[in-house]
Structure 1
Amino acid sequence: MRVFAVAEIKFGELDPVSIELLNLANSIKGDGTAEAVVIGNGISKYAEELAKYADRVWKIEDSSLENYNPELYVDVLSQLFSKEKPDIVLVANSSRGSEFAPALATKLNAPVITDIVGLDTSNGIKATRYIFQGKLLVDILVKDGDTSVFTVRQGVFKEGSEVGGEVVDAGIKPSVTPKREFSQIIEPEVGEVDISQADIIVSVGRGIEDASNIELAEELADALGGVVAGSRPVIDSGWLPKDRQVGISGKTVKPKLYLALGISGAFQHIMGMKDSELIIAVNKDPEAPIFGVAQYGIVGDIFEIVPALVDKLREIKG
């Protein structure tokens, strides 16, 4: 099976989701190939990085591709796929991927399934995704066809191994004049982090009680070398920005350590962090659902436990 992953370049960097797509591609390719497509201008360094995880990297390079344009992406990708037939095309479920993937699928006369968290090719093609705001997990069987397009949730397929493939210049240039023009890039504020890539997350819930108490979680995160995130009630209250939300309506995370402070553990939240390597929960309610997924749990007041943890960590670090 030929599985193609469309890489993303943002703010001059290769987005980590590009490697996640290749991790998924390698897990489902069977005796086939995992192939990456990188689009842009001056992209050789990104192609070489992708080649560590792909059997083959197709480089589509042109000055008109310096900045993302969905019309040009669909144009050059459809040109490539008319020559190199994919069985599966993987795209990040990002703002970009969600925009051009349906148009690409239409161009390829292919089905498209969005925001998947699982893909099985052992007996046909079966995609897994959430519906009804994360209340149900469903499997979708794709009918036999030439090509299928999937957008993949970020942070789900972080584990994989290096392959060591080749880089190929696709020799493709845009053949259309886009109707929209690039204006400017508005970069995120300094200090914003991508929690889906963090190794250590200190996450807070209603138990933090007030925005002023977020500082307590930040002290613990700083002592651990991690970042602060939160459950939906914290985000809805405006105590943390939207990009720090963990859960079905936020981001899926798989850190090495997930420390849940005052989080009861609603289903939507658990689905976004249950695959973390180590989960430690602190909650006053011994019946809190979060304890059902945590490897270690502390029944107690976070305002007593967290300062003690911070002091102990600082003592250990000297």
Structure 2
Amino acid sequence: MKVFVVAEHRMGELNPVSIELLNLANAIKKDSSVAVVLGKDVKGFADELAKFADKVYMVQDDSLENYNPETYTDVLMQIFAKEKPDVVLLPNTSFGIDLGPYLAAKLNAPIATDVVAVDASDGLKVSKYFFQGKLMTDLKLKEADTYVLTVRQGVFKEGEEVNGAVEELDIKPSKPARRQFVQYIEPEVGEVDITQADIVVTVGRGIEDASNIELAEQLAEMLGGVVAGSRPVIDNGWLPKDRQIGISGKTVKPKLYLGLAVSGAFQHVMGMKDSELIIAINKDPEAPIFGVAQYGIVGDIFEVVPALIEELEKIKG
């Protein structure tokens, strides 16, 4: 089984999810993992991808400087005509959600989106969530020559280096694209990617009011982390949607997850259970979050957190 990964990069940066996809590719391959990176001046990206892929195909052309589904599909299909993939992996980002259906249609391939697990031992089975994360389903895709999958970010962070080779292909789009890139619109200042943070301080319903999130922000600043929230916090509008952890939000695997008044509902736990160290503070001794935490404090966060901040200030001098 040859598993191809289409790398995503934007504004001079390789999206780390591309490495996550290669970790998955190496886990399910029976033959080889192949990364494909398209763009202009992407040799640095190709070298980085080669650490985790058996082979990297690099195509450089001015017309590929910015992502365009037409030109990307054009070039990828030329590559696939030379070497047929059994599985094509893309990130479940705006990039992959856009490109995936294009490729599936051209390849006449089944497509599954936002998958969180893949089993290639007997055919191809994937796991994904439905109904805003309330139901997880295992799907067995119909037998086909090629499959296209978009994969949730933050799920496959662990993997070993492979150290493959980079091969530059002399391929260009066969025709001009009908649509043209105009510009990138920068996100608002202050937005963070919680999936890439080493320390995540998460607030739950027990934070009681938006004004109290400042307490979590103080603690996160002391620790060098970011603030995230469970679904009730997001639904109340106390934090933006991109800070939500859980099945209907984002999956995180930080070095430290600190939960403040987070009850630990199943939907939330599925988004953070693989964190390296989980510490929970909740006044309810029966809160489910204690079932996954390595360390827990049964107490009121409005008493415990200020005391914790005070001790951190002493340590930092």
TM-score category (smaller protein)? over 0.9
- Can you list the C-alpha shifts for 1:161-203, whole angstroms capped at 9, x where unaligned? 1111111112211113222211111112333221111111000
Counterparts in 2 of 1:87-166, with a 5 A limit?
87-166=86-165
Letter in 1 for 2:79: L
Structure 1 residue runs without a partner (length 5+): none
- Can you list the C-alpha shifts for 1:3-41, whole angstroms capped at 9, x where unaligned? 1111100221000001000011111113x1111011111
Shift of 1:123: 2.3
Letter in 1 for 2:233: V
CA distance in 2, matches of 1:24, 1:214: 36
CA distance in 2, matches of 1:65, 1:157: 28
Shift of 1:289: 2.1
Q: Please say if residues 23 and 158 of structure 2, whose CA atoms lie closer than 8 Å, have aligned partners that are also in contact.
A: yes
CA distance in 1, matches of 2:295, 2:249: 24
- Can you list the C-alpha shifts for 1:196-242, whole angstroms capped at 9, x where unaligned? 11111000011112222111111111121211111122222222222
Aligned to 1:41: 40
Shift of 1:143: 2.9
Counterparts in 2 of 1:164-183, with a 5 A limit?
164-183=163-182
Letter in 2 for 1:4: F
Letter in 2 for 1:10: R
TM-score computed with the length of structure 2 as normaliser:
0.96
TM-score computed with the length of structure 1 as normaliser:
0.96
Letter in 1 for 2:267: Q
Q: Any idea what SS the aligned residue of 2:179 has?
A: coil
Letter in 1 for 2:196: Q
CA distance in 1, matches of 2:206, 2:165: 51
Given the alignment of the two structures, is residue 203 of structure 1 paired with residue 202 of structure 2, yes or no?
A: yes
Aligned to 1:25: 25
CA distance in 1, matches of 2:313, 2:21: 38
CA distance in 1, matches of 2:247, 2:121: 27
Q: Any idea what SS the aligned residue of 1:203 has?
A: strand
Counterparts in 2 of 1:264-303, with a 5 A limit?
264-303=263-302
Shift of 1:125: 1.6
CA distance in 2, matches of 1:133, 1:187: 28
Letter in 2 for 1:313: L
Structure 2 residue runs without a partner (length 5+): none
Shift of 1:267: 2.3
Aligned to 2:245: 246
CA distance in 1, matches of 2:57, 2:22: 13
Which stretch has the larger CA shift, 209-218 or 40-49?
Answer: 209-218
Q: Any idea what SS the aligned residue of 1:100 has?
A: helix
Aligned to 1:16: 16
Letter in 2 for 1:100: L
Q: Any idea what SS the aligned residue of 2:254 has?
A: coil
CA distance in 1, matches of 2:196, 2:185: 22
CA distance in 2, matches of 1:11, 1:242: 23
Shift of 1:132: 2.2
CA distance in 1, matches of 2:182, 2:248: 30
CA distance in 2, matches of 1:104, 1:283: 47
Q: Please say if residues 4 and 87 of structure 2, whose CA atoms lie closer than 8 Å, have aligned partners that are also in contact.
A: yes
Given the alignment of the two structures, is residue 56 of structure 1 paired with residue 32 of structure 2, yes or no?
A: no
Given the alignment of the two structures, is residue 224 of structure 1 paired with residue 220 of structure 2, yes or no?
A: no
Kindly tell me the number of residue pairs found equivalent between the two proteins.
317
Q: Please say if residues 24 and 156 of structure 2, whose CA atoms lie closer than 8 Å, have aligned partners that are also in contact.
A: yes
Aligned to 1:260: 259
Q: Any idea what SS the aligned residue of 2:286 has?
A: coil
CA distance in 1, matches of 2:129, 2:237: 26
CA distance in 1, matches of 2:120, 2:207: 43
Q: Please say if residues 10 and 66 of structure 2, whose CA atoms lie closer than 8 Å, have aligned partners that are also in contact.
A: no
